[in-house]
Amino acid sequence: MLILLAIVFSCQTKEDKSAGIGSVNDLVLADSLILSLDERSTPEFNYHQIGDFLDQESFINLNLVNNSLDFYNLSEGEIIHRIQFASEGPDRITNVGGFYYHNEDSIFLLQKMTISNIKLIDIKGKITNQLSPILPLDLEIPGLINHFSTSLSPSYFFQNAIYFDQGILKNTSAPGVLGGDFRSSGRFDLNSDSVFLFPKSGFPHFYKDKALPIYLSISSRVLGKNNEWIYSWNALDSILVYDLNMNDRKAIYSKSKFKEKDIPNTPNASLEVELEVVISNTHYCKVLYDPYRKNYLRFVQIGRFFNPDQDNTIMSIFKNDFSIMLYDENWDFISESFFEGSKHNFYHAFIGQKGLYIPRTNPNFEGLDEDKVVFDIYDLL
């Protein structure tokens, strides 16, 4: 379920929708890229990364349908390399739930819901090492770290350590759960072969007296300028910034212009009530760092009227409109731009040299094509 949460994460009048559109700082559609799909490709980009391969800027996607790692160049949108994982035999690679591409000799394949059994492969798919660290004794559930690595909260290999986040295994709509001492972030030190969970990580103070649906209790985080962790919690207006070891936190207040009310508590709520709260309330979903122009972006899911006859799964969230808040490298606010729902899938958006890439892979988009994916490219200069 946590993988689904990572993947899917107030009606607006015409005046509301057009607020800010046409202003100097709005994002400008500058270009588009057609990503060609072959018979083994997938338009699911829940686990992806931008990296250099064969001296080309490449979009690297974990293809769980084909059990492979697919490399596309961002100049032509063509697949240029594929690492096919063996599904049987002594070198089989299964249960992959994320990856980190360091270079052509070091690609980390991360396992679902664990920080153990990490496989290090080269560009040919050969397993060069397997990593299973010593785990802390004081885990929420002994022996288990609920590690995940998606486009919302990717894991990083940095300074010979893997930095990761984990998801809570308790019901966050139960009173008191969000007020516990859950540690959400950790470091797997490859030198000492051990895992350390940062004591100051976990739910922000704002969450302590809340009971919220799990969909609103998660965060998105990236490694930003000066090796700082940037956290955007779904129900928190402020963005939280930490140093590499999760100390020296600072909060940057930044409320979306589309958020008109606070998200209500939902103690012990039913699934329908949780869906209504998620769909009808504006909340924050994704944060990105632009290393080329030193900007930060925050994505906002805009609340709308909840129809219980039609909105019966979390996938209904893709009907919602969304906005993108843009900041400079010093966190000075630049603009907030509006996008209509049912066309783009901003959960799969990424930053490239040309700007912001957002795919037209919304499940409600009428122009979906099984042979290609169109990425709209927005100018961030």
Q: Would the pLDDT of 82 be above 80?
A: yes
**Residue 25, pLDDT score:** 44
This prediction's pTM: 0.91
**Residue 20, pLDDT score:** 36
88 CB contacts (<8 Å, ≥6 apart)? Answer: none
What are phi and psi for residue 315, nearest 5 degrees?
A: -65, -20
Rounded percentage of the chain residues whose pLDDT exceeds 90: 83
pLDDT in tens, 112-155: 989 999 999 999 999 999 999 999 888 877 778 999 899 999 99
Computed from CA positions of residues 173, 175, 177, 178, in that sequence, does the dihedral angle turn out positive or negative? positive
Q: Which residue has the higher pLDDT, 89 or 381?
A: 89
Is residue 1 very low, low, confident or very high in pLDDT (cuts 50, 70, 90)? very low
Q: Would the pLDDT of 294 be above 60?
A: yes
**Residue 5, pLDDT score:** 42
Q: Would the pLDDT of 21 be above 80?
A: no
pLDDT in tens, 161-219: 999 999 998 999 999 999 888 999 999 999 999 999 999 999 999 998 899 999 999 99
SS3 track for 99-167:
EEEEECCEEEEEECCCCCCEEEECCCCCEEEEECCECCCCCCECCECCEECCCCCCCEEECCEEEEEEC
If residue 14 lies in a helix (H) or strand (E), which one and from where to where?
helix 14-18
Q: Can you spell out the DSSP letters for 195-241?
A: EEE-TT-SS-GGGTT----GGGS-EEEEE-GGG-EEEEETT-SSEEE
Q: Would the pLDDT of 380 be above 50?
A: yes
If residue 276 lies in a helix (H) or strand (E), which one and from where to where?
helix 271-280
Distances (CA, A) of 180 to 4, 59, 108: 24, 39, 32
**Residue 88, pLDDT score:** 86
